[in-house]
Structure 1
Amino acid sequence: MKMLKQTLLLAGVLAAGIVSAQSTEMNNMIKVGANVGLAVPADNVSAAVGLDVAYQNLITPGFGLGIATGYSHYFGKDNNGLNNNDVGVIPAAALIRIYPKQTGFYFGTDLGYGFLVGDDKVASNSTVDRPDGGFYIKPEIGYHNKDWNFFVQYQKVFTGNDGNIEGQDYNVGNIGVGFSYNIPLGK
């Protein structure tokens, strides 16, 4: 029964996207943007800055699909005697967006794999290897118009127990804000 309710909710959201008033002049676009955030939880990193690049196609006037990548840099911090190293995230993700109206509120997510890059070790004074990556998610909610998107996001790479050291869990995630500029590619 719970799955039926979730399926009906998803169908309702998609139907709202189909009948929304999103402009049909711009079906394909490249989104280029930047974001900043504070690490959550903050065991091994403190903050993040990133650049985003995505391609989006409006399947219906209010529903977009595409691909997303970019680079987010997480700044390592000292914790429980560990000198944690910086780490970078390069996502390879699917982009999903819902636009209820031509301008205004929107929401969506990026889902895929986040490649972790940087030093091979979690901390400069540790022998524990940094994981190579994991499941990547970046839900966001924000405001949009024809040219710009302004949003609040949560970005996370799930690495399981890889990279964990006694006294801290290995975490790569943040809550932040960002913006992107839409470059139209036509219909």
Structure 2
Amino acid sequence: MKITNAEFIISAVQPHQYPSDALPEIALAGRSNVGKSSLINKLILRKNLARTSSQPGKTQQLNYYRINEALYFVDFPGYGYAKVSKTEREAWGKMIERYLQNREELKLVLLVIDIRHDPSKDDVLMYNWLKHYDIPMCIVCTKADKIPRSQWDKHKKAVRTTLGASSQDALVLFSSETGMGREELWEVLAQSAGIASEEQQGTANS
């Protein structure tokens, strides 16, 4: 995907703060420090549009990024961080649940998982929740460069088994360091959002 424009738009908490231009939305869910911000930055080939932080739990709203005037990335607060109070966690949960259940513009959720570790209980809960409400998803296994290539299949199988995911569930290996999986993931995103992928753009221009 050729990125011509990418910008941060708003940190939203309530539905009235969501953008009203009806562009398709791709949400990112995952544990704190799983690499969601780095994933966004690598997808759009920008170093720090989505702010990465050494402090887990820093994202506390739904962060909207508009890409190419064609779609939004919506970055969720990371879950599973112990230092966040129970009250805050419950508030985030309600905010995310309200968005997932009611947002018509939502086209896909990226369930972001560190491939080096088995999915957490929170990852399994999110997976089951998305399945229950029939929300399209793609599992993105980040930090693939941190394990040997010979171990990829073993770790992918462990992710699917722990989540209870079927072979029908899309799964993309990704590395924010090397860019591995970027084109493959953009194909998934473009199809879900109903926009032309880079390959389709090239065909149209030829």
TM range (shorter): under 0.3
What's the TM-score once normalised by structure 1's chain length?
0.24
What's the TM-score once normalised by structure 2's chain length?
0.22
The answer to which structure has the higher helix fraction is: 2
If you compute each CA radius of gyration, which structure gives the higher value, 1 or 2? Answer: 1
